[in-house]
């Protein structure tokens, strides 16, 4: 581009005199962009547009898609403090926390409105625009309403990124809005370091909207899209899968929930919510709490995109899973025999996920038929079984009468063993127990492996802890010694890594430093990945590692430099 040197000189001189860049007070003048690229952004100079084919949108954001949402527990804490809206025309507002707000226009017509904004979940700008529009429309569809108009909300680093990206994002979104017969009326844009796109959607319904809090005991739960978007996105961001593994999920995210909503309305469903950033269990617990019911979900029915369970099973668990676990809290009971990858799948943040529909048993076949006629995939994953303050039971085997097989509710959302009645009435271990079953009961569990067995299988026994010297009963003949040793070592790792007098983050930094000091490359990789997933920064890991270098000297320093090169793929001068 042509440079106006007089304009550049005038603006830079003003910035230098102020000691701050006039466009960004946090930067000095001359700024790094001027030093590195020879352009002054404040003077309207821009870098030459690069090849858009080389753009990787997901590498430009911290959290992809709906995983960028504020944690539900943090959001609700703020919303609960806001003043009430007193308008009598508001049918469903902030307290309901539903997918969209509902406002009575009179004459049997209600206005249904929603807004959603998030970061790129795919690398292709046009596909991201399509997915974003589909996701925003889902809130209207989940209420059984018809969307009519949209306003865009756009955040974009316009000074440093090719404007063609912005065009393609909006063009893709408009294609999807046109498919939904929705008119884009305009919008608002701001400069932002991360790309963000969203839409405020306005729709109407000719009768009462379908609210998530209207489910009834006995209602079946039908899900219309598979799960695992968040895990696959995270795995791609850290280089654990390639882009081709996302094709199935991308096609699903770009698919409107319009046909599913039409089927739901035709079958007269009781309640509905769309599954997005709070994950299946996060959105289901909202439905359960507002309906005052317990939902029983059959774990082996949960549908997953190809590769999702595999990456979760390999420990590639995004941070949104933990935020959604915290939101659900103790209001979920998980069968002992359910793989943790399946549990994580239920907490995984979805972008443009499916509808979760509650419908009475008498009309369930009608719903399934209506979905089939429209070519909409579906899985019946469980039902609402009883009145409560709002709970989820994740069962390994589900009976039609809503009963759960023995040992079907032994873990809570954090994977801890729990029997509700025993905990509430007479805990078998700890100072609150009337007759502690462990000789030296403390406030801590007396059994180290709380994830696999309840604390006291037999409260009448002399000790509630099983004989740790005996091989597990389910090991094959001849495998007792080695298998039990491996199990015991795994138990030791879990116990020492959990929070206690030292919190879990500090322990992970200690373990990382010890792995460096031991010069164990697989150990460093494993603890590095775990630490990053826990939210520990690279700077904290480096500081811990240098403590190990201080104790181990030159050989440890050379080992850690090689590991940095391995962990960063040879980038950043780590091999110099």
Retrieve residue 145's tokens.
């309403």
Total H helices, total E strands in the chain: 19, 13
Cα 402 to chain centroid, rounded? 28
The secondary structure element, H or E, covering residue 348 is none
Retrieve residue 113's tokens.
């409105």
> What is the biggest distance separating any 2 CA atoms in the chain, rounded to whole angstroms?
89
Instruction: Tell me if 125 sits within 8 A of 52, measured CB to CB.
Output: yes
Retrieve residue 32's tokens.
């790094």
Catalytic residue among 42, 66, 344, 438: 66
Burial (0-12, 13-18, 19+ Cβ within 10 Å), 493: exposed
Instruction: Tell me if 161 sits within 8 A of 33, measured CB to CB.
Output: no
Instruction: Tell me if 201 sits within 8 A of 133, measured CB to CB.
Output: no
Phi first, then psi: give them for residue 23, nearest 5 degrees: -90, -30
For the chain, the first-to-last Cα distance in angstroms comes to 36
- Cα–Cα distance list, 200 to 101, 153, 527, 561 (Å): 12, 8, 42, 49
115, β-bridge pairs: 200
Sorted by sequence, the CB contacts under 8 Å of residue 35 that are 6+ apart come out as none
Residue 378's nearest CA partner among 393, 367, 389 is 367
Instruction: Tell me if 394 sits within 8 A of 333, measured CB to CB.
Output: yes
- Report how far residue 44's alpha carbon sits from residue 71's, in angstroms, rounded to the nearest whole number: 38
CA dihedral 359, 360, 363, 364 (to 10 degrees): 60
- Report how far residue 425's alpha carbon sits from residue 433's, in angstroms, rounded to the nearest whole number: 9
CA dihedral 274, 275, 277, 283 (to 10 degrees): 90
356, β-bridge pairs: 223, 273
Beta pairing, strands 146-156 & 196-205: antiparallel
Cα 360 to chain centroid, rounded? 29
Q: Is 63 helix (H, G, I), strand (E, B) or coil?
A: coil
DSSP state of 57: G
Is 21 designated active site?
no
HSE toward the beta carbon, residue 209, CA cutoff 13 A: 34
332, β-bridge pairs: 392
Examine residue 30 and say whether the peptide bond preceding it is cis (omega within 30 degrees of 0).
Answer: yes
The sheet that has 101-106: what strands, in order across it?
90-92, 101-106, 109-118, 196-205, 146-156, 183-191
Q: Which residues are known to be catalytic?
A: 66
């Amino acid at each position: 581009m042509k440079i106006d040197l007089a304009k550049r000189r005038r603006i830079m001189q003003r910035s230098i005199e102020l000691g701050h860049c006039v466009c960004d007070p946090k930067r000095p003048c001359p700024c790094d962009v001027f030093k590195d690229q020879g352009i002054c952004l404040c003077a309207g100079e821009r870098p030459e547009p690069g090849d858009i084919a080389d753009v990787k949108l997901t590498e430009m954001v911290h959290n992809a898609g709906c995983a960028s949402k504020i944690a539900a527990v943090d959001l609700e804490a703020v919303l609960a403090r806001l003043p009430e809206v007193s308008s009598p025309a508001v049918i469903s507002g902030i307290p309901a926390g539903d997918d969209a707000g509902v406002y009575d226009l009179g004459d049997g017509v209600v206005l249904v409105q929603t807004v959603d904004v998030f970061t790129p979940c795919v690398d292709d700008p046009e596909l991201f625009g399509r997915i974003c529009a589909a996701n925003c429309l889902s809130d209207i569809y989940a209420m059984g309403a018809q969307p009519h108009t949209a306003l865009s909300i756009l955040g974009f680093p316009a000074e440093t990124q090719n404007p063609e990206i912005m065009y393609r994002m909006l063009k893709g979104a408009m294609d999807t809005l046109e498919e939904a017969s929705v008119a884009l009326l305009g919008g608002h844009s701001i400069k932002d370091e991360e790309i963000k796109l969203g839409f405020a959607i306005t729709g109407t319904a000719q009768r009462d909207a379908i609210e998530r809090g209207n489910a009834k005991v006995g209602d079946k739960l039908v899900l219309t899209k598979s799960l695992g978007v968040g895990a696959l996105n995270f795995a791609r961001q850290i280089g654990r899968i390639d882009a081709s593994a996302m094709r199935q999920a991308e096609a699903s995210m770009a698919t409107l929930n319009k046909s599913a909503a039409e089927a739901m309305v035709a079958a007269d469903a009781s309640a509905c919510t769309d599954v997005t950033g709070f994950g299946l269990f996060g959105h289901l617990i909202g439905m359960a709490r507002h309906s005052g019911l317990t939902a029983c979900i059959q774990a082996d029915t949960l549908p997953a995109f190809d590769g999702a369970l595999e990456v979760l099973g390999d420990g590639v668990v995004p941070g949104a899973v933990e935020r959604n676990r915290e939101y659900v809290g103790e209001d979920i009971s998980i069968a002992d025999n359910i793989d943790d990858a399946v549990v994580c799948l239920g907490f995984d943040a979805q972008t443009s996920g499916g509808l979760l529909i509650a419908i009475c048993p008498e009309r369930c076949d009608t719903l399934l038929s209506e979905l089939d006629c429209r070519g909409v995939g579906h899985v019946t994953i469980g039902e609402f079984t009883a009145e409560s303050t709002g709970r989820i039971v994740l069962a390994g085997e589900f009976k039609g009468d809503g009963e759960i097989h023995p040992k079907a509710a032994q873990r809570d959302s954090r994977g801890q063993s729990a029997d509700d009645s025993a905990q509430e009435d007479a805990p078998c271990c700890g100072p609150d127990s009337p007759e502690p079953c462990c000789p030296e009961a403390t406030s801590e569990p007396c059994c180290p492996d709380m994830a696999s067995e309840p604390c006291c299988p037999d409260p009448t026994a002399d000790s509630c802890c099983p004989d740790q010297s005996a091989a597990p009963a389910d090991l094959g003949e001849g495998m007792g010694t080695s298998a039990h040793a491996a199990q015991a070592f795994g138990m030791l790792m879990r116990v020492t890594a959990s929070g206690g007098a030292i919190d879990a983050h500090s322990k992970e930094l200690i373990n990382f430093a010890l792995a460096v000091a031991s010069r164990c490359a697989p150990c460093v990789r494993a603890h590095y990945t775990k630490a990053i997933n826990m939210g520990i920064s690279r700077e904290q890991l480096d500081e811990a590692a240098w403590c190990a270098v201080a104790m181990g000297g030159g050989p440890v320093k050379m080992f850690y430099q090689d590991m940095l090169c391995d962990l960063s793929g040879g980038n950043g001068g780590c091999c110099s």
